Amino acid sequence: MRISTTSILSTGSYLPSRAVPNEALTQFPPASLPLIAEKTGISCRRYAAEDECTSDLGFQAARQCLERANLPPGDVDAILLSTSSPDRVQPATATRVQELLGARRAFAFDVNSVCSGAVFGLHLADTLIRSGECRHVLVVASELYSRNYINQRDFSTCAVLGDGAGAVLLGPGEPTRGIVGSRLHTDGSGSELIQVPAGGTMLPFHRLERPQDVYFTMRGPEIQQFAPVRGAEVVNELLEACDVDRRQVAFVVPHQANISVLRTLAERLDIDFSKFVITLDRYGNTASASVLIAFDDLMMSGRVQAGDLVVLVVFGGGLSWGATLIRV
């Protein structure tokens, strides 16, 4: 039986307990540290404990999400895990989240669209529920960059990235509330702008010549131009397709890239920046987890009223970008 509406039944998030404020980044010259908050808007980030891996973070966010919905893990039909920092190359990190939850009935797989992956996952979950194939789908985004992917001597990435996880439980709901629509895009011609060069079949570790190729890299100037332009385009495309005026949007939950990108995005959308949900000051850029962490932050803040329209907008490696419109 096809379902007309996919509702957001609950949200959850998990931030590791270890807080790393800007002043703790003592590997960099003291004079450079004030520039982090000034240029990026980030004052602190979280790093996972030595005994935590990506699936552990995702499990904690997913467990909180299910507890808030009072839904037993055995009632989950599917788990979609967005990550670009998996536990291992294989199997899918989602399989360990399934095991930790005890969600025996659920099929589970990973989605890797880097920072856009959570919105890609939400669209896939929406499709599974509307088709009638699944009743309850758990979308989790979990990222742990601090251990393997951050070059602790690279100011441009170390100062920005953090660890964390977010989760959303979706299911059939009221016709007037839920996911209104989504739009997804990819441009593979920009696939080298954001990457971890080594570790795959293109550059196996045994052929590694430059040690820095094991780390996350991005070409900052190009990304600074790409993100607000494509972000604004996809939101406008989505609002037009859903016949929604931008003035009706109560909140915008963006990928927490950096504050200048988000301010430029707000200007291009002609949406007041006060409507943007910002968590990067506390948690940094947690890649695909950032939009679900920020969405959970909004849903738990007490600011949301029933019927509010919320836009989630993301942009990241691939290049990829997308947006989802939700009536909460």
Structure confidence by residue, pLDDT tens digits, 216-247: 888 878 888 899 999 999 999 999 999 999 99
Place of tokens 């200048």: 260
Residue 194 tokens, joined: 């954001």
> Which pLDDT value is given to residue 3?
62
Of the residues 175, 210, 232, which one is the last residue of a structural domain? 175
> Which pLDDT value is given to residue 1?
55
Determine the average pLDDT of the residues in 269-275.
98
Higher pLDDT, 59 or 196: 59
Residues 56 and 155 in one domain: yes
Handedness of CA 217, 233, 36, 83 (dihedral sign): negative
d(CA 129, CA 116): 21
Gyration radius of the chain over CA positions: 19
> Which pLDDT value is given to residue 88?
95
Quick check: is 284 in a domain?
A: yes
| pTM of the complete model | 0.96
Residues 132 and 243 in one domain: no
| From 11-15, 169-173, 272-276, the region with the lowest mean pLDDT | 169-173
> Which pLDDT value is given to residue 174?
76
Domain extent for 276: 179-327
Residues 170 and 268 in one domain: no
Quick check: is 1 in a domain?
A: no
Quick check: is 114 in a domain?
A: yes
Say if residue 27's pLDDT is above 90: yes
Determine the average pLDDT of the residues in 248-276.
97
Q: Single out the catalytic residue among 65, 123, 255, 258.
A: 255
d(CA 126, CA 178): 10
Residues 47 and 153 in one domain: yes
d(CA 36, CA 133): 46
Quick check: is 209 in a domain?
A: yes
Q: Is 158 a catalytic site residue? A: no
Residues 207 and 167 in one domain: no
> Which pLDDT value is given to residue 131?
93
Say if residue 310's pLDDT is above 60: yes
d(CA 52, CA 14): 12
Say if residue 104's pLDDT is above 90: yes
Q: Single out the catalytic residue among 22, 112, 258, 285.
A: 285
CATH number assigned to the domain comprising residue 281: 3.40.47.10
Quick check: is 254 in a domain?
A: yes
Q: Are 313 and 295 in contact (CB under 8 A)?
A: no
Of the residues 153, 175, 197, which one is the last residue of a structural domain? 175
> Which pLDDT value is given to residue 252?
98
Q: How confident is the model at residue 317 (pLDDT cuts 50, 70, 90)?
A: very high
Residues 162 and 212 in one domain: no
Residues 206 and 286 in one domain: yes
Please write down the HEC assignment for all residues of the chain: CCCCCEEEEEEEEECCCEEEEHHHCCCCCHHHHHHHHHHHCCCEEEECCCCCCHHHHHHHHHHHHHHHHCCCHHHCCEEEEECCCCCCCCCCHHHHHHHHHCCCCCEEEEECCHHHHHHHHHHHHHHHHHCCCCCCEEEEEEECCCCCCCCCCCHHHHCCECCEEEEEEEEECCCCCEEEEEEEEECHHHCCCEECCCCCCCCCHHHCCCHHHHCCEECHHHHHHHHHHHHHHHHHHHHHHCCCCHHHEEEEEECCCCHHHHHHHHHHHCCCHHHECCCHHHHCECCCHHHHHHHHHHHCCCCCCCCCEEEEEEEECCCEEEEEEEEC
Residues 217 and 156 in one domain: no
Q: How confident is the model at residue 209 (pLDDT cuts 50, 70, 90)?
A: confident
Q: How confident is the model at residue 2 (pLDDT cuts 50, 70, 90)?
A: low
User: Over the stretch 134-175, which tens digit does the pLDDT of each residue have?
Assistant: 999 999 999 999 998 999 999 989 999 999 999 999 998 777
Residues 185 and 310 in one domain: yes
> Which pLDDT value is given to residue 213?
84
Residues 125 and 77 in one domain: yes
Residue 302 tokens, joined: 């007490």
Q: Is 206 a catalytic site residue? A: no
Q: Single out the catalytic residue among 44, 65, 115, 134.
A: 115
Of the residues 148, 175, 202, which one is the last residue of a structural domain? 175
> Which pLDDT value is given to residue 246?
95
Domain count, the chain: 2
The residues, any chain, with a CB within 8 Å of residue 26's CB and separated by 6 or more, are: none
User: Over the stretch 36-86, which tens digit does the pLDDT of each residue have?
Assistant: 999 999 999 999 999 999 999 999 999 999 999 999 999 999 999 999 999
Q: Is 255 a catalytic site residue? A: yes
> Which pLDDT value is given to residue 301?
97
Determine the average pLDDT of the residues in 115-133.
96
Nearest to 165 by CA among 65, 41, 258: 65
Residues 29 and 15 in one domain: yes
Residues 23 and 123 in one domain: yes
